[in-house]
Amino acid sequence: MNRNFKVITINGIRGIIAAIFIITGLIAGFVISPGWLCMRIWNFAMQQSGYIITMNLIQGIMLWSIIALTLYAINNRKPLIGFGSYPALSPEQIKDIMNRAKQNEKNKFNDIDFIKKEFENNKILKEENSINEKIKSDEKKDEKEFGSRL
């Protein structure tokens, strides 16, 4: 079993604020800043060449995206994201997984049976207590009636 995968947990409002801060920092560092730099370089080059064509920040971000995607596409190295299949599990591993699943299922059924028995016992005890209370209340009523007649 592969135990090398990462899980991100966010706990509470401080965790949410920290996650927003981290995401904002990443967007600012990898998208907005290079986009701003592309915009400044473009505007400087156009100003030096005598053209009046200027660029705003959104267009700078789009230019940066075009540059980054082009560099990624022409990169000859191994891709960072790959699709493939993992090797199949051996029969021993499959048997082990099935045995653990069966054991967990048995434990769950045992727990359910225990809970049912406890519920039934409590229900019987409650019924006995209510019957005893009813008998006691009837005896008290009888004592009051007989006591008032004497």
Percent above pLDDT 90 for the chain: 29
Q: Is the dihedral of CA 26, 27, 32, 38 positive or negative?
A: positive
Mean pLDDT of 64-84: 78
Q: Which of 62, 53, 54 is nearest to 32 (CA)?
A: 62
Give the integer Cα–Cα distance in Å for 97 and 88.
Answer: 14
Cα 49 versus chain centre, distance: 54
Model pTM?
Answer: 0.45
- Which residues in 128-141 are b (16+ Cβ under 10 Å) and which e? eeeeeeeeeeeeee
**What are the extents of the domains in the chain?**
1-86, 87-150
- Residue 39's pLDDT band (boundaries 50, 70, 90)? very high
